Structure 1
Amino acid sequence: MDTDRRWGRGAAHARRPRLTGLAVSALLAFVLLVTGCSAIPTSGPVGVISASEGEPDVVAPVFDPQGPSSGATPERVLQDFIRAGTGAGGGYSVARQFLTAELAETWQPEERIVLFRGDPRVEKRETDGVYQIQLETTGTVDARGVRTNSAGPSTETLGVRMVEADGEWRIDEIPDGIMIAQSSARDLLTSHSLSFYSSNYRYWVPDARWFVRRTGVTARIVQAMLAGPAPYLQGAVTSAFPEGVTLARDSIPITSGRASVELSPEILDNATDLKLQQMNQQLEANLVGLNDVTSVEMTSGQPIQLGDRAPDLVTPERTPDVGGEQVAIADDELVRVRNGGIVAIDGLPSVAEYDPVDPATSVSGSAYSFVAADRSALFVTAPGSQVREVLSGAGLTQPSFDPENWLWTARSAGAGSEVLAVPPGGTQENAVLLAAGWLGDRAVKDLRVSRDGSRALVVTEREGAGEILLAGITRSAQGAPLGLTTPVSMPVPGPVDTARWAGQSTIVASSIGADEEAIPVVLHLDGEVEEMAALEGVEGISAGSDAEDTFYAQADGSLYRRIVTSWVNEELAVRDPAFPG
């Protein structure tokens, strides 16, 4: 993908000569190819100090970049400017020394952060004073703190204009933002998951963000929350705060554990006790535990009175519990895997005649589902009930129950796939075909709804390549699924055929192949990736509330459990195990 990068703010001035044609293209071109994701290694900083003045903050690493050297060449100035981006102190005062006085006033260092590996390459272009910086990128962080990892080898080229000022070369035009080596990223950046309400206010939905480690992190977290969720979650989650509410000041004082959050007057517009209590609840969900915060006080000129607890106020679940049992298939019947053993399901009718594969169960255990081995029919049943066919098609994926007991699956449609959701007790006649135009010619291989019901984990294949996508789920006011938002990609270091939720902020994934070695991976929503021990002949995976104690792989006709860094054979002859959901 080729995308133009704009000059930094304040870059265009009538007194400067203009560039046209190929020169402009060379200056503005930014090439960002889809690249592979890798975990960011940690490198030791020079030292650590605690933030002083204003609000308390995370312990920040000390980077001590130097200002411009006298008589430095333009190439040296640009290399030193990149290194100076590691120093956030004084509003990036050192980095601003490399800029002309006018640009130093308008340059926005955290508008965009480019993460790179290797050594930056600086080249002079044919036009006088025009240079370009070439980077091998691993990802970016935008002004909202949203991190996008590259999915393979990728490069980016930034156009720069240099001028002489008092005999020294300075940067006169450059895109806003800083460049950080991946070896320093973990020391310079800190991750934090914002919390938004699910559409029914029953769950907290995490929204992973990254922020520069410097004073004011608490305020920047609140500012990001007030600005709303990441694009893929827009329409899928809810904020208690009305649009337009902002922080009234750029700091959040913390006294004896209480964070005092001064908000703009809009917070009181048409505010009921319930809405104010939900706002306060959301602030607590985002701040308690951060920088020793134990409670939150909202103010707007004076402390905001919340009133008596509203009857409709719900305390959302942060980590929905799916328990420790799995549904599986043994001798062509649905069974439960419990405490290392196989247990029959009381009252459940026989399903052997349907040749079942890929079972699923609701969190309550009140409903079960499976597909036929040829993936042409989807069935549901329950203890004391008969088996019902509720959907037909080709290439049906393993079903997934959402918290409201809607049953989700995907099936082949033309050159790609379509996603459907069947309501509780429903059939094909009242199934919802979800709006997901972005699927295009992608074939859905796996589909799992998150335990909060706000997100869909989708594994697709296009032109032989597997991809993990994370989309938000939009719903009607009554909670019926409507569509899937434009997703974000979760890059993986190798082939992928299947993926599962392992809690709210973690995904596990693997390739599948009876005669192949698989290296399952753990993907964190903040972009970090962890590779696990290899396992031969993986046929499927399952995960409960985390990727440590409740992660299983089906291989060689048995069930393996992940324990620390190893796989332990549970010696259970079951197929297609799945945790509720």
Structure 2
Amino acid sequence: MKNYRLLALPIALSLGAGGLSACTSLPRNTDAQVLRTFVAPSPEETAIGPEPGREADLLLRDFYTVAAIPTQNFQAARAFLTPETSKGWDPRESTLVVDRIDLNTQPGSTAEKRTFAVRGTVIGRLASGGAYHPENGVYEATVEMRMVDGQWRISSLPAGVVLERTELRNQYQPHEVYFFDSSDEVLVSDRRWVFAGRSTLDTVLISLMMEGPSTVLAPAVDNELPPEARFVGLEDGVYQFTGLGGLSEAERTRFAARLVWTLAMANVPGPYQVLGDGAPLLENTPKLTTDDVAEFNPKASSVSTLYALTDGSVQQISGGGAEPVTGDAGHVGNITSVDIASPDKIAAVQRRADGSSALMGGTLDGELTEILSGKSITRPSFEHEPSAVWAVVDAKKIVRVVRSATGGYAITEVDSSGLEDIDGDISVFRLSRTGVRAAMIIDGRVFTAVISRPEAGERKITNVQEVAPHISGQALSLDWQPDGSILVGTSAAETPIWRVEQDGSALSSLPSGNISAPVVAVAASSQTIYLTDGRAVLQLSAAGGDSSFWREVPGLQGVRSAPVVSH
């Protein structure tokens, strides 16, 4: 019987400025459930155990610390339990992540028995396979302890694991497992948290890949492996699979791309020898490298050009100077927002004389054509393929516009029923670089979602999650970074700009020493982060470094502009 409560918070809570920057979760069922027939090597035994003579409250805190170690079915944590309790405790039921654990002794405790009230602010939940889900709530539980042969041991506790974020940071690391989007053209990352003490990272990641995408990402990606496909192990340096005989050459190539990039991005050294049903996975390629699937590189950096929206017109920034683009966008004026896709596609919103807005489309060196109008239109956002662009009309209706080969536009309304339970207007809407995820600001709160395709030509907003609740009500601007994280500009003077991991597992404030809030626009290339604060356009190296001060952008000094990075 459970003896804990998880209460929803009326006010959003989060990781805070010191949030996890490296590690935040673990698979709910610890060692990954593996679709294979071989037996994985046993993890190294841990020597961690209860300290003799430890006081009850300190021993209970030690228990929550070692609960972050999942090896050998939580053997280290079970050593803190009475034998009877150890047999009945099920750590796999759930894994909650809390900011910290508070303990208070309950009335009626004696020298032989003590009861503690355990409480913490829940910031996330870890699902099967190490996928992180942000949550906001209060964890409350009762834990009983008694003396066993002169030592305190835990005699009653709820099922499941509760972990402080500091232990997750110390014990776990994030890795990316890759799947193709629904068009089978773009690799999409699925972030998982894996125990850092494992020596078999490669087989764990492959097993997670074979299990399929996380529940959040699943509606938006393709998992085209046949149900009989199995990873049967690593033997003499060879990764062996069965059940792949029915795959076409193109499907085998895509599977190879998923496998190679999952391993390569985890720094598992190649080349990779892979057999499918006893033969090389790709014909005439006994060993695979990233060169063999280079066209699917998920981190390939496209040529990014910096533009600026200044006084209602678009300028290109280069060589320390700013020049208007040659087409309409550089001269018509009254442009309020813009998105640019390499090499020359542009979508812009123009303010009309009557105060309404028009969505325009075209090229940087050509004419802009009106597509639709409304009382308000958010900044447009291109899909991975720049023939399609999205925007939000009148703060509620999300539309997708596709340009045909003949130059016409087809407008469809996106199914946004997944947002029905969220009150407020959408002020910012941005698609990720893959087009599979979306980030949005609704009444100052930051949400992410995935884009599914129920039928051909249809799109649906699904699996909406609030991330970064710590800055709830303060968010003004956001955009995706090339690494998949999200930049968020706010109205807060002390913390005007934040970085949020795409799964909501970490939130960190960026240097803000010379930023003057509010931050009304943000953008990023692989090398540089840009923002517009209350005075100017500023830039900071994306790699960090010793400098914590933002510098004005050459060519835009003293000019009020919004930075735009093409993608």
Shorter-chain TM band: 0.7 to 0.9
Q: Given the superposition, is the C-alpha separation of residues 368 and 81 from structure 1 closer, same or farther in structure 2, using an over 3 Å criterion?
A: closer
Aligned partner of 1:218 in structure 2 is 202
Distance 2:277 2:407 in 1: 55
Q: Given the superposition, is the C-alpha separation of residues 423 and 156 from structure 1 closer, same or farther in structure 2, using an over 3 Å criterion?
A: same
- Are positions 1:133 and 2:118 aligned together? yes
Q: Given the superposition, is the C-alpha separation of residues 290 and 574 from structure 1 closer, same or farther in structure 2, using an over 3 Å criterion?
A: same
Conserved 8 A contact 1:375-1:397:
no
Conserved 8 A contact 1:357-1:371:
yes
Aligned partner of 2:562 in structure 1 is 576
Q: Given the superposition, is the C-alpha separation of residues 339 and 110 from structure 1 closer, same or farther in structure 2, using an over 3 Å criterion?
A: farther
Equivalent of residue 496 in structure 1, options 465, 475, 480: 475
Deviations 1:354-408 (CA, angstroms, capped at 9, x unpaired): x211122222213342232645321223356443221122221011111222121
TM-score, length basis structure 1: 0.77
Aligned partner of 1:456 in structure 2 is 438
SS of the equivalent of 1:284 reads helix
SS of the equivalent of 1:423 reads strand
Distance 1:334 1:559 in 2: 15
Larger deviation, residues 192-201 vs 77-86: 77-86
Conserved 8 A contact 2:179-2:258:
yes
Equivalent of residue 380 in structure 1, options 333, 351, 361: 361
Equivalent of residue 307 in structure 2, options 297, 305, 327: 327
Distance 1:245 1:163 in 2: 49
Identity %: 17
Aligned partner of 2:132 in structure 1 is 147
Aligned partner of 1:11 in structure 2 is none
Structure 2 unaligned blocks of 5 or more: 23-38, 286-291
Deviations 1:55-103 (CA, angstroms, capped at 9, x unpaired): 699xx9x985323758986x67644432432444544323223445566
Cα distance, 1:271 vs. partner? Answer: 2.5
Equivalent of residue 258 in structure 2, options 279, 282, 290: 282
- Are positions 1:487 and 2:461 aligned together? no
- Are positions 1:270 and 2:253 aligned together? no
Cα distance, 1:287 vs. partner? Answer: 1.2
Cα distance, 1:340 vs. partner? Answer: 2.9
Equivalent of residue 203 in structure 1, options 179, 186, 192: 186
SS of the equivalent of 2:345 reads coil
Equivalent of residue 75 in structure 2, options 81, 87, 93: 93
Aligned partner of 1:397 in structure 2 is 378
Aligned partner of 2:428 in structure 1 is 446
Aligned partner of 1:409 in structure 2 is 391
- Are positions 1:120 and 2:114 aligned together? no
Aligned partner of 2:453 in structure 1 is 475
Distance 1:428 1:301 in 2: 48
Deviations 1:285-308 (CA, angstroms, capped at 9, x unpaired): 111254643133445674554325
Cα distance, 1:330 vs. partner? Answer: 3.5
Cα distance, 1:156 vs. partner? Answer: 0.5
Cα distance, 1:324 vs. partner? Answer: 3.5
In the TM superposition, 1:166-315 aligns within 5 A as 174-215=157-198, 216-243=200-227, 245-248=229-232, 252=234, 258=237, 260-263=238-241, 265=242, 267-268=243-244, 270-288=246-264, 290=266, 292-299=268-275, 302=278, 305-307=281-283, 315=295
Q: Given the superposition, is the C-alpha separation of residues 292 and 350 from structure 1 closer, same or farther in structure 2, using an over 3 Å criterion?
A: closer
SS of the equivalent of 2:259 reads helix
Q: Given the superposition, is the C-alpha separation of residues 300 and 332 from structure 1 closer, same or farther in structure 2, using an over 3 Å criterion?
A: closer
Conserved 8 A contact 2:419-2:464:
no
SS of the equivalent of 1:293 reads coil
Distance 2:144 2:305 in 1: 62
In the TM superposition, 1:158-169 aligns within 5 A as 158-160=141-143
SS of the equivalent of 1:231 reads coil
Cα distance, 1:567 vs. partner? Answer: 1.1
Supply the AA of the counterpart residue of 1:496.
A
Cα distance, 1:134 vs. partner? Answer: 2.1
Distance 1:213 1:530 in 2: 22
Cα distance, 1:325 vs. partner? Answer: 1.9
Supply the AA of the counterpart residue of 2:360.
F
Aligned partner of 1:357 in structure 2 is 336
Cα distance, 1:423 vs. partner? Answer: 0.8
Equivalent of residue 342 in structure 1, options 319, 322, 329: 322
Q: Given the superposition, is the C-alpha separation of residues 155 and 280 from structure 1 closer, same or farther in structure 2, using an over 3 Å criterion?
A: same
Distance 2:398 2:562 in 1: 21
Structure 1 unaligned blocks of 5 or more: 1-5, 8-26, 44-52
Number of equivalent positions: 519
Deviations 1:146-202 (CA, angstroms, capped at 9, x unpaired): 223456xx5312355778988987656644433333333222111112222122233
Aligned partner of 2:490 in structure 1 is 511
In the TM superposition, 1:69-88 aligns within 5 A as 78-88=60-70
Cα distance, 1:321 vs. partner? Answer: 3.4
Larger deviation, residues 175-184 vs 395-404: 175-184
Aligned partner of 2:297 in structure 1 is 317
Deviations 1:466-510 (CA, angstroms, capped at 9, x unpaired): 2211111123675x4511112222215432111011113221111
Distance 2:301 2:129 in 1: 30
Deviations 1:412-468 (CA, angstroms, capped at 9, x unpaired): 26xxx121111115999831111121322331111111111111111111xxxx221
Supply the AA of the counterpart residue of 2:412.
V
- Are positions 1:66 and 2:44 aligned together? no
Distance 1:485 1:32 in 2: 22
Larger deviation, residues 205-214 vs 376-385: 376-385
Distance 2:295 2:409 in 1: 36
Supply the AA of the counterpart residue of 2:256.
N
Conserved 8 A contact 1:112-1:176:
yes
Conserved 8 A contact 2:20-2:507:
no
SS of the equivalent of 2:463 reads coil
Conserved 8 A contact 2:315-2:330:
no
Aligned partner of 2:13 in structure 1 is 35
